Amino acid sequence: MNNVKLTRRGALLGAGAGVLAARTVRAAAPPGVNIGFFTETKPTMVAKNLGWFEEGAGAKLSWTEMGSGADINTAITAGSCDIGLATGSVATAAGISQGLPFQLVGIVDNIGPGEDMTVRTAANIKSPADFKGKKVATPFGSTSHFRLLGFLKTNGLTQRDVTVLDMKAAAIQAAWSRGEIDAAYVWPPARSKIAENGGTPFKTWDTLEKAGYVIADLIVVRTAFAQQYPDAVVGFLKAYDRALAMWQDKPEEAALIVAKEAGVTPAVATADMKEYDFVPFSQQAGPQWLGAPGTPGKFASVLKNTADFLVEQRSIRNAPGLDAFQKAINTEFIRKAVG
Amino acid sequence: MFRVRLTPRALPSWAIGGLSAALLLALWIGVTSGGLVQDLFLPGPLDLWDGLTELVQEGYKGRTILEHMGMSLLRVGAGFLTGAAVGTLLGLGMGYAPRLDAAASPFIEFLRPLPQLAYLVLLIVWLGIGESSKITMLFLAALPVAAVAARDGVRNVPPDRLQVARALGASDWQVLRHVVLPSALPEVLIGARLAAGIVYGTLIAAEIIAGSNGIGWMIMDAGRFLRSDYVFAGIAMIGLAGIAIDRILVWVERRVVHWAGR
Amino acid sequence: MELPVREARLSTLPWAVSTMCRNAPRRVWGRLRGNSAALRARAADAAGSDGTGIAEQLVMVTSAVSRQADGIAVAAPPGLTPARRQVRVPAAAFGVASVAGMVLAWWAISASGAVPRDLLPSPADVWAAGAEILRDGYRGTTLWGNALSTLGRLGAGFGLAVLAGVPLGLWMGVNRVTAAALDWIVQFMRPLPPLSYMILLILWLGTGNGSKAALLFLTAFPIIVAASAAGVRGVKQQRIQAARALGAGPAQVFRHVVLPSAAPMVLTGLQVALAAAFSTVVSAELLAATDGLGWMVISASHFLRNDVIVLCILVLGGLGVTLAWLMRVLDRRLVHWRGRD
């Protein structure tokens, strides 16, 4: 509790990072780590279930399930969350633009085809123009919402042509089974459930990705925490790397654990995980992704584009220059984790 | 303690209120402009003003601020009127007929403190994501409050009034119309005001259901991106509208039950 | 019956009513109903047929009734039909019957298959969910643990609101300057939906118990302050003046006159505030919670576990009813003089 207070005051002073770095001594193991996470079908759940994260961080972890990446931003700002696991790139871009006290330390997955449009088969939607007058649901503020808005924009549709509804994944499933929405842009398992229930996939991700609407799930760490306990962060990342290796080497075994954590069948877990592109840490320090000191990767500009779009949507007030995003990316930890 | 009231201070009440508001404003400016607090945590008055004018001029996510406010007030109005009407009728019946009271009380008492968010998903599953589920949630918030007030209103009718009316040969209907209703009306209206407050407080929960309009949704959506200026502007608007609604109900109360308290 | 009706009108009315009540016990009134036509005729006769007001009639009726009631007390005069005997069924039976009927209807609807199970879980489903959660817990938490943490937050938030709100409200009631300075803030806070400032509380206080208790505090606080202030303002001035005339000092007036007179209103405010705070517990646990009944029902909502949702609703409703009942008991204990002003 004291710890939280201290760091929050740091944030309040607006110079949290500098002040704390000067004041705090690097310590090997934190007394406890607050993790914000989502229950989902990803290898992260393997490391959670088997206690690898705990082992890697060398501390007791307290897991708080969050409703959205925005919740993780809020919790980090308030000092109640140290590591945000698999938070969306949209929330992260917004947070960096607002100068929230966190660093982007790694990528869990490039969402790619993982989140995409599902249309009601009976609604007879074959082309983007068919969306006119239809109701499309998505959780606002999410990566899916960002993609959906990108889809509308690239196809010359406005929110006057298409009714875009803000709904949580569970509400989407409920409304879908009542036949009230014609399409939904959402992630698994809601996505697979509505697809089974009279839905047809409507592929948008490939063209959108080419148009710059790249979305990813990221690991963010509260700046003060990263400076105080770098070893814990490296250990945490190592644990995820180990889980990812397990998913690649022994997919059945990994899927079994993930299924147990997420409350789905192993078959569903496997199918879901195959949709995501889990980028290994060894590649992330390359120019394609996060880059290295001196050679910034492409991902900073993905975040910058995302932030610009959010400004256009008037979700955030303004977006800083590219360098702010490059500065918010810290690859020191993944390099140590793989090296 | 009473000396203060007996020797009225030089200042009228509105001036004292204004002074305290000015003091708060000065504190607010001092805290925000001094860089003591990031505007993420607490936007300064100027940021708030900018946010407010921006919202008024450009609207929020495809709708003008008046549309958002209007949608919310329509929902509140519909939920309140239906809930208060049904609740009052039920409550009058409960006050009048002890058996109906016994039969309906368990449900009313159960519903009254029940957090509305608890049954949000059930409402979606049963009634969908349209206006009906939102209005039903507000209806369910208003109903028990209005019912309890009306029941107590009837129960608190002085028994001698009833007896005199009956002795005068008034029929049950006449007793209800000329004695029970006028005597219970002050409490019924107080209940209606309470119900309006509860409905208003439930507005955001209702607008979480689905959609992309309404002032409550706007506050939640702006909160997602920590747009504190919009959140504060929304709170200011929702608070002022709430006061306005309350004032209107007080006015109605005064007009209708000028005998209240006698 | 030659009373000077018009003069008697206002001055005798209170006397008439009190005489009436003293002289005619309830059951007598019932008996008299059958005879009311005659009474009315008499009253009208006495008051004149030119439509004089009810007050005059009341006086007439009162005296007539009083005399009749006296007569009845000795021996029921002929012509008065005794009230029809009713079979007394205790009111509680209707309550039990209606609840039982509801459960039966629920069971019948779900058993008949008229409503799909994913729309309405059957009582058996909810029972099974309850048994499972009691045995294995829900996602690593127990039902009791969740109920306790929710009640703990409620207790902290509501308790602080009482400790701060009642004194402040009383002060605002006796002190015009305080009232004028703070009333607009309370008036502004009162109608605000708690969810509107939830995100700010999390930013300021973090995701822990602090922000959750603060939300419940802010829900209850303005209600308690407003009710306490109104309670003091509603104290009859004559009482204060009478006490002062008898030589009571300000502290004595406050202790022996203001406080007892305001107490019923304060207690009513506490009951309303507790209900409001209770109905906010799920909102408090909507964002970034790790336990509590609100967290449980929201988590079940994410997975569309309708059986768990209904179970949580039943538990929450039961807790709410219990708390409201406890408040009523407290009310009766603390202000046993309520309604006897």
pLDDT tens readout for residues C188-234: 998 899 999 998 999 899 888 999 999 999 999 999 999 999 999 98
Q: Which residues does C148 contact at the CB level (< 8 Å), separation at least 6?
A: none
More confident residue, A186 or C89: A186
Torsion angle in degrees (nearest 10) through CA of A30, A34, A36, A38: 90
Q: What is the pLDDT of residues A237-251, one digit of tens each?
A: 999 999 999 999 999
Helix spans in chain A (H)? 2-12, 16-23, 44-49, 52-57, 69-77, 89-97, 143-154, 169-177, 190-196, 205-210, 223-228, 230-249, 251-262, 266-275, 281-284, 299-312, 322-328, 332-338
- In the prediction, which pLDDT does B199 show? 93
Cβ distance C207 to A8 less than 8 Å, yes or no, reads: no
Query: How many whole angstroms separate alpha carbon B142 and alpha carbon A209?
Result: 48
What distances in angstroms separate CA A71 from CA A95, A248, B218, B220, C123, one per listed residue? 11, 31, 16, 12, 35
Amino acid letter, residue C139: R
Q: What is the pLDDT of residues B95-111, one digit of tens each?
A: 888 889 999 999 999 99
Taking 90 as the threshold, does the pLDDT of residue A6 lie above it? no
Does any domain span residue B147?
A: yes
For residues A259 and A266, the answer to whether their CB atoms sit within 8 Å is yes
Does any domain span residue B19?
A: no
Cβ distance A63 to C203 less than 8 Å, yes or no, reads: no
Q: Return the structure tokens found at A274.
A: 């195959």
For residues A264 and A191, the answer to whether their CB atoms sit within 8 Å is no
A69-77 and C194-205 helices, crossing angle to 10°: 50
Does any domain span residue B9?
A: no
Q: Which residues of C touch A80 (CB under 8 A)?
A: 202, 206-208, 288
ipTM: 0.89
- Decide: helix, strand or coil at residue A212: coil
CA C65-C66-C68 angle, 5° bins: 60
Q: Return the structure tokens found at C308.
A: 């768990």
- In the prediction, which pLDDT does C133 show? 92
- In the prediction, which pLDDT does C40 show? 53
Amino acid letter, residue A92: T
Q: Which residues does B224 contact at the CB level (< 8 Å), separation at least 6?
A: A68, A70, A140, A141, A315
Q: Return the structure tokens found at C42.
A: 């008499």
- Decide: helix, strand or coil at residue A89: helix
> Of B99, B117, B242, which is closest to C94 when you measure between CB atoms?
B99
Cβ distance C118 to A173 less than 8 Å, yes or no, reads: no
Provide residues of A within 8 Å CB-CB of chain C: 1, 4, 8, 36, 62-67, 71, 74-75, 77-81, 168-170, 173-174, 177, 263
Does any domain span residue B61?
A: no
**The model's pTM:** 0.83
Q: What is the pLDDT of residues A15-68, one digit of tens each?
A: 444 444 444 556 668 889 999 999 888 999 999 999 999 999 999 999 998 888
How large is the average pLDDT for residues B62-67? Answer: 89
Task: Give long-range contacts, CB 8 A cutoff, 24+ apart: A315-320.
Answer: A315/A94, A315/A141, A315/B224, A315/B225, A315/B227, A316/A94, A316/A97, A316/A98, A316/B225, A316/B227, A317/B227, A317/B229, A318/A97, A319/A93, A319/A97, A320/A96, A320/A97, A320/A99
Query: How many whole angstroms separate alpha carbon A94 and alpha carbon A104?
Result: 12
More confident residue, A166 or C74: A166
- Exposure class string for C126-154: b at 16+ Cβ within 10 A, else e: beebbeebeeeebbebebeebbebbbebb
Cβ distance B62 to A160 less than 8 Å, yes or no, reads: yes
- In the prediction, which pLDDT does B87 show? 96
Subunits with 3+ C-beta pairs closer than 8 A to C: A, B
Q: Return the structure tokens found at C100.
A: 């039982």
Q: Return the structure tokens found at B77.
A: 């109005």
DSSP for B188-249, please give it: HHHHHHHHHHHHHHHHHHHHHSS-S-SHHHHHHHHHHTT-HHHHHHHHHHHHHHHHHHHHHH
- Exposure class string for B65-87: b at 16+ Cβ within 10 A, else e: beebbebbbebbebbbbbbbeeb
Does any domain span residue B186?
A: yes
Asked whether the CA dihedral B163, B167, B172, B178 is positive or negative, the reply is: negative
B with C: how many residue pairs have Cβ under 8 Å apart?
231
CA A95-A52-A237 angle, 5° bins: 40
- In the prediction, which pLDDT does C114 show? 80
Distance from CA of C136 to the nearest CA of B (A): 22
Q: What is the pLDDT of residues C36-62, one digit of tens each?
A: 455 555 545 544 444 445 545 555 555
The β-bridge relationship of strands A291-292 and A295-296 is antiparallel
Cα C319 off chain centre by: 16
Decide: residue A16, CB within 10 A, 0-12 exposed, 13-18 middle, 19+ buried: buried
Residue identified by tokens 């008439």 is C16
Decide: residue A219, CB within 10 A, 0-12 exposed, 13-18 middle, 19+ buried: buried
Domain harbouring B127, CATH code: 1.10.3720.10
**Per-residue confidence band for C64, with pLDDT thresholds at 50, 70 and 90:** low
Cβ distance C288 to A8 less than 8 Å, yes or no, reads: no
Torsion angle in degrees (nearest 10) through CA of B92, B97, B102, B104: -40
More confident residue, A177 or A182: A182
Amino acid letter, residue C46: A
More confident residue, C41 or B80: B80
Cβ distance C199 to B223 less than 8 Å, yes or no, reads: yes
Taking 50 as the threshold, does the pLDDT of residue B6 lie above it? no
Q: What is the pLDDT of residues C244-278, one digit of tens each?
A: 888 888 888 888 889 999 999 999 999 999 999 99
Subunits with 3+ C-beta pairs closer than 8 A to B: A, C
Residue C254 DSSP class: I
Q: Which of B48, B224, B227, B230 to mutate to test the interface with A (most CBs of A within 10 A)?
A: B224
Does any domain span residue B197?
A: yes
Q: Which of A162, A166, A178 to mutate to test the interface with B (most CBs of B within 10 A)?
A: A166
Q: What is the pLDDT of residues A65-111, one digit of tens each?
A: 888 899 999 999 999 999 999 999 999 999 999 999 999 999 999 99
Decide: residue B93, CB within 10 A, 0-12 exposed, 13-18 middle, 19+ buried: middle
Q: At residue A269, what are phi and psi to the nearest 5 degrees?
A: -60, -45
Amino acid letter, residue A266: P
B45-58 and B13-33 helices, crossing angle to 10°: 100
Query: Could you tell me the residue range of the domain that residue B183 belongs to?
Result: 66-212
Cβ distance C206 to A78 less than 8 Å, yes or no, reads: yes
How large is the average pLDDT for residues C311-316? Answer: 95
- In the prediction, which pLDDT does A293 show? 82
Query: How many whole angstroms separate alpha carbon A90 and alpha carbon B159?
Result: 66
> Of B2, B107, B239, which is closest to C188 when you measure between CB atoms?
B239
Distance from CA of A229 to the nearest CA of C (A): 21
Cβ distance B41 to C204 less than 8 Å, yes or no, reads: yes
Taking 80 as the threshold, does the pLDDT of residue B207 lie above it? yes
Tell me which of B70-74, B101-105, B203-207, C138-142 is least confident. Answer: C138-142
Cβ distance A137 to B210 less than 8 Å, yes or no, reads: yes
Query: How many whole angstroms separate alpha carbon B212 and alpha carbon B113?
Result: 28
Does any domain span residue B6?
A: no
- In the prediction, which pLDDT does C154 show? 96
Cα A183 off chain centre by: 22
More confident residue, C163 or B167: C163
Distance from CA of C169 to the nearest CA of B (A): 14
The chain C residue lying nearest B205, using CA atoms, is: C195
Cβ distance A14 to B38 less than 8 Å, yes or no, reads: yes
Q: Which residues of B touch A99 (CB under 8 A)?
A: 40
Residue A24 DSSP class: P
Taking 90 as the threshold, does the pLDDT of residue C101 lie above it? yes
Q: Count of domains in chain B? A: 1
> Of C207, C286, C302, which is closest to A80 when you measure between CB atoms?
C207
Asked whether the bond before A189 is cis by omega within 30 degrees of 0, the reply is: yes
Does any domain span residue B240?
A: no
CA distance from start to end of chain B: 29
